[in-house]
Chains A and B, each alone.
Chain A
Amino acid sequence: MVIVSIGFLGMIARLISIQMIHHAYYEEIADAQHTTSAVVEARRGRILDRNGFLLAGNRTVVLFQVYWPEVPLGSEALVDSFLTALGPNALSAIPTTRQPGNQILANDVPVLSALDLMESLPAGVSFRIEQERTYPLGDNVAGIVGRFGPEGTEGLEDWLNEVLKGEDGELQVERSAAGRFNLTDPEAENVAAVDGQDHMLTIDARFQCIVMEELLEAVERTGGDWGAAVVLDPSNGAVLAAASVPVRADNGSLALNHCFQGYHEPGSTFKIVTYAACIEEGLLEPSQTFDCSDGFITVAGENIRDSHRLEVLTADEIIIYSSNVGTVMLSQLLSDSILYDYCREFGFGYKPIVGYPGESRGIVPVPGSAAWTGVSSAQIAIGQEVTVTPLHLALAFGAIANGGELFYPRLLAASWTEEGWEETVPVVRSHPVSPATAAIVRRTLTSVIEEGTGTTAAVTGVSTAGKTGTAERLSEESMYLSAFVGMVPAEDPSLVVAVVIDGPDYEYRWGSASAAPAFSAMVERMLAMEPELALGRGSAAADMFAEADE
């Protein structure tokens, strides 16, 4: 009796010790045995165009696999049945054959169609849910949006990765006796996943598709090595389209986006800098003429020639007929430092977007530096010895289009927050010229289209202004680069488009032969889609259309 009583007392003491004194310790052991934490993957933020069209989205897919050592002998038929249920998603032939290890049965199965299968798995079969990035427009926007995947992150997906990726959460899950995870503990310290932030770009998917299509056709027709085209809203620096072909390198990876990566000499499109600088500095008299009849001019022992013989020209005719000789004469009215300053004021030599992966700042030699020679000023004036990107050109012409304001370009229109879409604000970088100077330059550029080198850029029914450019390259691979930068409508531009084609065949080397017709085709199709753009930025009719859209 005493022994039994002592035994009971001992049991009670032990119970008190376990339940009350050391309960926290034993609770911890129990939790470790049947509770675990599961990562809740945050959904990656979406990327949309300015109209809300999905450029980069998410798909959740399931991968099914079988670990054959866990499949009971004689149960192979169950795996076959499962494969049959997978339908066209199945990767393996039926009947299956037992293998020593793991075998993938199906991947990329849309999760919503896999839910039933996930709940009725035969022994040895398991699944893994994966998030997959999807790009509905494919290669049309790959050069801008980039990619996010196992092979790497590029483009905007890389630039915005920190805000797109979100933060994974954590769920405390209780494991059942069978060893499956099937219950969450709502009272535990669960951490909710924070999905990535959605972003809206300034890109217009419709324009992007049009520009890509026309650019590809132009590059193929002219035998070019690559081509690039930028469409800009000059009123605020918004990039409406940025196309670059080829999209992919030979190994399938994304190629350079030549709109803002890499660089090239701008050729005669750069002459507007020299011309605008002379006007802004008040160095030109209305009746002043320049004798270009020799066809060449010698600077520091080097001859700079015109492509065809011209006569005595006025300042605007120098631009209309794209005379190298005349432009060098204009540059000689400017000091080296003033010409350099205007190059910088027009945004050349800076990284335009400031932060986009791999963007190029281009090169503008500094007066007095080792790169500056006695002929540098003359060469820069005609668009040689200076390197730019098509985006640089579009922004500079944008300043001419909007009356003298050089904007920072914008690719991001807005980001989604809890309070709604938070829009980015246009920012002016510099004021290279006055509105009066810009208007004079626009009139001259209009004459380029009407009677000069840019007649092939004319757009039916809309006044057009622009400048052709042909740069002679020293590379063996590409002898010439053809360029055209234009704006419509000429009086009050709502669109600026820069087109560059590198390495066209000899007969297409001139800007008027390859880049200018491509510009015309692009603009015609974009204006057909949004006719109000043909009315200009500030017209009452354009406002009326905008109000009707709202």
Chain B
Amino acid sequence: MGGMRRVILASIAGLLILAVVQVGIYNWRLALAMRHKHLTDELRELEWKVDELLVDRADLISPDRLEDLGEDLGLGPLPLDRFRVVDLDHRQDGGAVIAFVER
């Protein structure tokens, strides 16, 4: 009778320990899942941010916009006849000087 009682108590204790471990594992999985979701959301938001920044960059350096800005600042492309090759170095390593010549 005493032996039977010890077996029952040991079984109950074992079951309780298993239950505690099970709950612990479940909570750990839950924490991992929440962390995973948090990181996934963060990654997704960063990807969205990258996309937006690339589009903004393209808008800012659009050739039409830069040309308009340059003209407003008086920095438009210079006419070609104001550029001259004034010296072509005949050294073996080549070389040339491109000069901007005022009319």
State the A residues within 8 Å of B (CB).
Answer: 43, 46, 53-54, 57-60, 110-112, 115, 134, 136-137, 140, 171, 174, 182-187, 205-206, 208-210, 459-462, 524-525, 527-529, 531, 534-535, 539-541, 543-544
Instruction: Select B85's contact among A54, A134, A171, A535, beta carbons within 8 Å.
Output: A535
| Known pairs A527-B80, A535-B96, A539-B96 / 8 extra A-B pairs, C-beta < 8 Å | A57-B51, A60-B48, A60-B51, A134-B55, A182-B37, A183-B30, A541-B88, A541-B98
Q: Judge whether B51 and A529 touch: CB under 8 Å.
A: no
Contacts of B47 in A (CB 8 A): 43
B8 at the interface (CB under 8 A from A): no
Return 20 A-B CB contacts under 8 Å, by A number. Answer: A59-B52, A59-B55, A110-B52, A115-B45, A134-B55, A136-B55, A136-B59, A137-B62, A137-B63, A183-B37, A209-B67, A459-B80, A460-B80, A460-B81, A461-B83, A525-B77, A531-B98, A535-B96, A540-B95, A544-B96
Interface size for B (C-beta < 8 A) is 38
Q: Judge whether A540 and B94 touch: CB under 8 Å.
A: yes
State the B residues within 8 Å of A (CB).
Answer: 29-30, 32-34, 36-37, 40, 45, 47-49, 51-52, 54-55, 57-59, 61-64, 67, 77-81, 83-85, 88, 93-96, 98
Closest residue on chain B to residue A205 by CB atoms:
B63
Instruction: Select B32's contact among A57, A137, A186, A461, beta carbons within 8 Å.
Output: A186
Contacts of B67 in A (CB 8 A): 209
Instruction: Select A183's contact among B34, B51, B85, B94, beta carbons within 8 Å.
Output: B34
B26 CB to nearest A CB, Å: 12
Q: A59-B55, A136-B58, A205-B63 are in contact. Are A541 and B83 (CB under 8 A)?
A: no
B87 CB to nearest A CB, Å: 10
Q: A112-B49, A115-B45, A186-B33 are in contact. Are A57 and B96 (CB under 8 A)?
A: no
Instruction: Select B33's contact among A174, A459, A529, beta carbons within 8 Å.
Output: A174
Contacts of B49 in A (CB 8 A): 112
Instruction: Select A54's contact among B36, B58, B88, beta carbons within 8 Å.
Output: B58
Chain A interface, >50% SS class? mixed
Q: Judge whether A206 and B33 touch: CB under 8 Å.
A: no
Q: A43-B47, A182-B37, A205-B63 are in contact. Are A112 and B80 (CB under 8 A)?
A: no
Contacts of B85 in A (CB 8 A): 535, 541
Contacts of B32 in A (CB 8 A): 186-187
Contacts of B96 in A (CB 8 A): 535, 539-541, 544
Contacts of A539 in B (CB 8 A): 94, 96
Q: Judge whether B36 and A186 touch: CB under 8 Å.
A: yes
Closest residue on chain B to residue A206 by CB atoms:
B63
Instruction: Select A57's contact among B29, B55, B64, beta carbons within 8 Å.
Output: B55
Q: Judge whether A184 and B36 touch: CB under 8 Å.
A: yes
Contacts of B30 in A (CB 8 A): 183
Cα A205 to Cα B80 with chains together (Å) = 21
Q: Judge whether B57 and A54 touch: CB under 8 Å.
A: yes
| Among A46, A136, A183, A205, residue most surrounded by chain B Cβ atoms (within 10 Å) | A136
